[in-house]
Amino acid sequence: MGQTYALLLHGGAGVLAARSYDPERMHMRELAEAGKAMLESGKTALDVVTEIVRRLEASGLYVAGKGASPNQAGRYELDAAIMDGATQKAGAVAALTGFVSPVHAARAVMEKTRHVMLAGRGAERFAGLQELERVESVNDYYTPAAAPDTRDIATGTVGCVALDVSGRIAAATSTGGTLNKLEGRVGDSPILGAGCWADGHVAVSCTGQGEFFLRKATAKDVSARMAYGGQGLAEAAQGAIADIGTMGGEGGLIAVDARGNLAQPFNSPGMKRAAVYPDGRITVEVD
Amino acid sequence: MGQTYALLLHGGAGVLAARSYDPERMHMRELAEAGKAMLESGKTALDVVTEIVRRLEASGLYVAGKGASPNQAGRYELDAAIMDGATQKAGAVAALTGFVSPVHAARAVMEKTRHVMLAGRGAERFAGLQELERVESVNDYYTPAAAPDTRDIATGTVGCVALDVSGRIAAATSTGGTLNKLEGRVGDSPILGAGCWADGHVAVSCTGQGEFFLRKATAKDVSARMAYGGQGLAEAAQGAIADIGTMGGEGGLIAVDARGNLAQPFNSPGMKRAAVYPDGRITVEVD
Q: If DSSP codes are grouped into helix, strand and coil, which group holds residue B30?
A: helix
Q: Do residues A80 and A189 lie in contact, with contact meaning Cβ atoms separated by under 8 Å? A: yes
Domain-embedded: residue A31? yes
Domain-embedded: residue A236? yes
Report the first-to-last Cα separation within chain A, whole angstroms.
32
CA distance B251 to chain A (A): 16
pLDDT tens digits for A112-171? 999 999 998 899 999 999 999 999 998 899 988 876 555 444 457 999 999 999 999 999
Q: Give the ipTM.
A: 0.95
Q: Where are the beta strands (DSSP E) in chain B?
A: 6-13, 78-84, 89-96, 117-119, 158-163, 169-175, 185-186, 196-198, 202-208, 251-257, 262-263, 271-276, 282-285
Please determine, for residue B149, whether its predicted confidence score (pLDDT) is greater than 60.
no
Domain-embedded: residue A223? yes
- Domain of A14, CATH number, reads 3.60.20.30
Of A112-116, A172-176, A215-219, B73-77, least confident by mean pLDDT is B73-77
Contacts of A113 (CB under 8 A, 6+ apart): A91, A126, B182
DSSP state of B91: E
Beta bridge partners of B256: B203, B262
pTM (predicted TM-score): 0.96
Cβ contact B214–A118 (<8 Å):
no
Stretch B62-70: mean pLDDT: 92
What does the pLDDT read at residue A1? 47
Q: How far apart are alpha carbons A86 and A72 in whole angstroms?
A: 39
Stretch B168-183: mean pLDDT: 87
What does the pLDDT read at residue B3? 79
Q: Do residues B65 and B101 lie in contact, with contact meaning Cβ atoms separated by under 8 Å? A: yes
Domain-embedded: residue A58? yes
Domain count of the fold of chain A: 1
Closest by Cα among B110, B120, B116, B51 to B79: B120
Closest by Cα among B158, B71, B148, B117 to A113: B71
In angstroms and rounded to an integer, the radius of gyration of the C-alpha atoms of chain B is: 17
Q: Which residue of B has its CA nearest to A217?
A: B193
What does the pLDDT read at residue A130? 96
What does the pLDDT read at residue A14? 87
User: Average model confidence (pLDDT) for chain A?
Assistant: 93
Domain-embedded: residue B279? yes
Please determine, for residue B2, whether its predicted confidence score (pLDDT) is greater than 80.
no
pLDDT tens digits for A218-230? 999 999 999 999 9
Tell me the residue range of the domain where A239 lies: 6-285
Domain-embedded: residue A1? no
| Residues of A marked as catalytic | 157
Contacts of A224 in chain B (CB under 8 A): 220-221, 224-225, 227-228
What does the pLDDT read at residue B155? 58
Q: How far apart are alpha carbons A192 and B216 in whole angstroms?
A: 9
Cβ contact B197–A185 (<8 Å):
no
pLDDT tens digits for B42-51? 999 999 999 9
Domain-embedded: residue A137? yes
Please determine, for residue B178, whether its predicted confidence score (pLDDT) is greater than 90.
no
What does the pLDDT read at residue B147? 63
Cβ contact A197–B210 (<8 Å):
no
Domain-embedded: residue A154? yes
Of A94, A193, A197, the CB nearest to B186: A94
Closest by Cα among A13, A2, A4, A3 to A264: A13
Of A21-35, A175-189, A262-276, least confident by mean pLDDT is A175-189
Residue B153: which pLDDT band, with cuts at 50, 70 and 90? very low
Which residue intervals of chain A are DSSP H helices?
22-40, 45-59, 102-112, 120-129, 138-141, 210-216, 218-227, 233-246
